[in-house]
Structure 1
Amino acid sequence: MIESNMSRGCAWCAGGGDGTSAHLDENHSEHTLSPTGHLVVAVCLGFIGTFGFLNNTLVLILFCRYKVLRSPMNYLLVSIAVSDLLVCVLGTPFSFAASTQGRWLIGRAGCVWYGFINSCLGVVSLISLAVLSYERYCTMMGATQADSTNYRKVAMGIAFSWIYSMVWTLPPLFGWSCYGPEGPGTTCSVNWAARTANNVSYIVCLFFFCLILPFIVIVYSYGRLLQAITQVGVKTITSTTADELLVSKKLSA
């Protein structure tokens, strides 16, 4: 099903029937980096993957060890840490290995899987940040304490982040655009290059619903919080100044 949809939807990610990476090299020969370029990319990916794995693992260990950290808001941070950790485990090692060899190593099916898993987890992180900003806005403006209701809301927010991401990253597996090689052919992602109506419509929707919309939510939430904090600061300064003036009048009298 995946292979037939890829062949029908975009020729750039179709290749030989044996599923090897030969077609990836051929289709991207004009974009191939120099050996030094591949080495630099491999070093960067190795650094990112290693420290991303260690840092996110540390976050999960601390969260599990200390109950004081298990607030509703921190559960959203854990969801982000899990998605980032999965990228380091399920995605980065394959692009790292491909960069060390200068070519994709696990065939067309592996390319589709890599493109899907990285796209899905990336959208999860972004949507989780939007949900986190909105939850923080609601908590700060409502001045509510953590209770079972807040935990349920956070659980719904986490579920929404993962389901929403799946909804927008599964379509390329079924014919709406496709996943395939990108750049020098050592990574895979959504087909950004094709100008067909099928592909452009997906890219536009993905761009709006998985980038622009979350960005608007984040800007709105933190903008309102900043506005509220500024207003509280102005009122505090005004109240303090009035009190000082009153005290000075009493003293002068």
Structure 2
Amino acid sequence: MIVSNVSLSGCAGANSALCAAVGDGHQGGGSYRSTLSPTGNLVVAVCLGFIGTFGLLNNLLVLILFCRYKMLRSPINLLLINISISDLLVCVLGTPFSFAASTQGRWLIGEGGCMWYGFANSLFGIVSLISLAVLSYERYSTMVVPTEADASNYRRISQGILLSWLYSLAWTLPPLFGWSKYGPEGPGTTCSVDWTAKTANSISYIICLFLFCLITPFLVIVFCYGKLLCAIRQRKYRKFLAALQYVFGLTE
């Protein structure tokens, strides 16, 4: 993270949020100051409060409906529940800290809290993205080879959910052990991967994170829904040809 013995005199050409973080680390034990104006912090706090509250209520409602109505407990809906759980965890374990930081104009839970915030939000975000990729593949495979819901379907979906968490952990744990790092970002009231570092260590991690946690699931989603769309169009085209044959008496 931020080394306590960094000289503040070298901050003139550095990132302002990082310099503010360093300065407050000397003065207040790792309390990072926001670079926004009080009005800017207020606007951010209002937006975060709305997003956090709406996300919490919305995802709780999804979980309640899933638990209450047995008809909703299909294999494919388990993936949607996994996404809701990861989003709910962001609302509970992430958003409140950035909301509190925005209301006070500074990061409140120190360097360790900043690392936790960056790790947790990255973890839950990647889980949601990988789950969407698995969901798109599952919908595509169901469309191509329709199957009834049985134990094997639940087992396959459960494996997909486990994969989403293990895959996310595999890419969010390295910054805690030296491959890049988590630190303050933007105005200094949130934390994430250190995107501004120019070292080979950080750049290599950011490139891998971009390729394997954004581009790869995005391509899977595009491919699966593209194939799904083509399959739907082909079926519609066949139905249209069948209707024409029936109208013009071309059927046997």
The TM-score with structure 1 as length reference comes to: 0.89
Alignment of 1:6-155 (within 5 A): 7=3, 16=25, 20-22=29-31, 24-25=32-33, 32-155=35-158
Q: Describe the shift of the 1:103–1:17 C-alpha distance in structure 2 as closer, same or farther (beyond 3 A).
A: closer
- Structure 2 unaligned spans of 5+: 8-17
Offset at residue 96 of structure 1 (A) = 0.2
In 1, Cα distance between equivalents of 2:206 and 2:163: 21
Tell me, what secondary structure is at the counterpart of 1:188?
strand
Identity %: 65
In 2, Cα distance between equivalents of 1:175 and 1:154: 33
In 2, Cα distance between equivalents of 1:180 and 1:67: 43
Offset at residue 17 of structure 1 (A) = 7.8
Q: Describe the shift of the 1:133–1:208 C-alpha distance in structure 2 as closer, same or farther (beyond 3 A).
A: same
Letter in 1 for 2:29: T
In the alignment, what sits opposite 2:176? 173
Offset at residue 21 of structure 1 (A) = 3.2
Q: Describe the shift of the 1:87–1:148 C-alpha distance in structure 2 as closer, same or farther (beyond 3 A).
A: same
In 2, Cα distance between equivalents of 1:61 and 1:218: 28
In the alignment, what sits opposite 2:201? 198
Offset at residue 7 of structure 1 (A) = 4.5
Q: Over the residues paired in the alignment, what is the CA RMSD in angstroms?
A: 2.1
In 2, Cα distance between equivalents of 1:100 and 1:222: 41
Offset at residue 140 of structure 1 (A) = 1.1
Contact conserved, 1:19 with 1:109, CA < 8 A, in 2? no
Paired residues in the alignment total: 237
What CA deviation, in whole Å up to 9, does each residue of 1:130-182 have, x standing for no partner? 00000111111111111110100000000000010000000000000000001
What CA deviation, in whole Å up to 9, does each residue of 1:24-71 have, x standing for no partner? 23xx6xxx1111110000000000000100000000000000000000
In 1, Cα distance between equivalents of 2:174 and 2:22: 17
In the alignment, what sits opposite 2:163? 160
Q: Describe the shift of the 1:173–1:51 C-alpha distance in structure 2 as closer, same or farther (beyond 3 A).
A: same
In the alignment, what sits opposite 2:212? 209
In 2, Cα distance between equivalents of 1:81 and 1:69: 14
Contact conserved, 1:120 with 1:166, CA < 8 A, in 2? yes
Deviates most, 153-162 or 13-22:
13-22
In 1, Cα distance between equivalents of 2:41 and 2:135: 36
Tell me, what secondary structure is at the counterpart of 1:114?
helix
Structure 1's consecutive aligned runs of 4 or more residues displaced over 6 angstroms after TM superposition are: none
In 2, Cα distance between equivalents of 1:118 and 1:218: 22
In 2, Cα distance between equivalents of 1:20 and 1:121: 28
In 2, Cα distance between equivalents of 1:98 and 1:222: 40
Tell me, what secondary structure is at the counterpart of 2:249?
helix
Q: Describe the shift of the 1:19–1:145 C-alpha distance in structure 2 as closer, same or farther (beyond 3 A).
A: farther
Q: Describe the shift of the 1:152–1:14 C-alpha distance in structure 2 as closer, same or farther (beyond 3 A).
A: farther
